[in-house]
Amino acid sequence: MIRQGRIGDEAGIANVHVESWKSTYKGLVPDSFLDSLSAEKRKPLWKKQLESNSVFVAEENGQIVGFASYGKERTNKHPSYTGELYAMYLLAEHQRKGIGKALMHKIAQELVNQHIHTMLTWAFEQNGACQFYEALGGKRIDHAEVVIEGTSLSEVAFGWDTLKNL
């Protein structure tokens, strides 16, 4: 079930965030960085995000198994894209079940309700999510390099010129 995130969900979201990073980015991001991630440290960040009503969660049997956060595009580097998917993560065992697509659909609906009709998101180029975004109609519109503990990683921006088909 996909629903609006609410105060009280921060522990579940933080857990999914940290566990997803550890499983998805193992071998890509330095182990020392992944080992330093803590759901407890992430809880305050997610509580603040939940206060802005810009998070959807995926729940199964009362447990949060995934989430997505969104809002206005933050950098103004891409004026054609006014919305942004800030983050979307699912626990590994809940991927490839249609949950990510359902989260994207919900976000697209909400952005359109806010009169935002285009969106972008960023992903590590080596992340399997790139294929997911392309399958949903995302076009590669930019790239950047980020450095995490001395390791340089390529990021790709995906853009959607319309959200009506998501």
Total number of domains constituting the chain: 1
Q: Mean pLDDT over residues 3-20, rounded?
A: 97
Split at pLDDT 50, 70, 90, the class of 165 is: confident
Residue 42 in any domain: the answer is yes
Domain of residue 91, residue span: 2-119
User: Residue 45 sits in a domain of what CATH number?
Assistant: 3.40.630.30
Q: What is the pLDDT of residues 34-45, one digit of tens each?
A: 999 999 999 999
Q: What is the pLDDT of residues 48-88, one digit of tens each?
A: 999 988 999 999 999 999 999 999 999 989 999 999 999 99
Residue 92 in any domain: the answer is yes
Q: Mean pLDDT over residues 97-125, rounded?
A: 97
Residue 143 in any domain: the answer is no
Mean of per-residue pLDDT scores for the chain: 95
Q: Which residues contact 79 (CB under 8 A, 6 or more apart)?
A: none
Quick one: angle between helices 10-24 and 39-51, nearest 10? 120
Q: What is the pTM of this model?
A: 0.93
Which is nearest to 123 in space by CA: 155, 83, 159? 155
List phi, psi (to 5°) of 133: -65, -40
Residue 164 in any domain: the answer is no
Residue 89 in any domain: the answer is yes
Residue type, 28: L
- The percent of residues above 90 in pLDDT, for the chain, comes to 96
Per-residue tokens: 137: 């109609």
* Contact (Cβ atoms closer than 8 angstroms) between residue 82 and residue 117: yes
- The percent of residues above 70 in pLDDT, for the chain, comes to 100
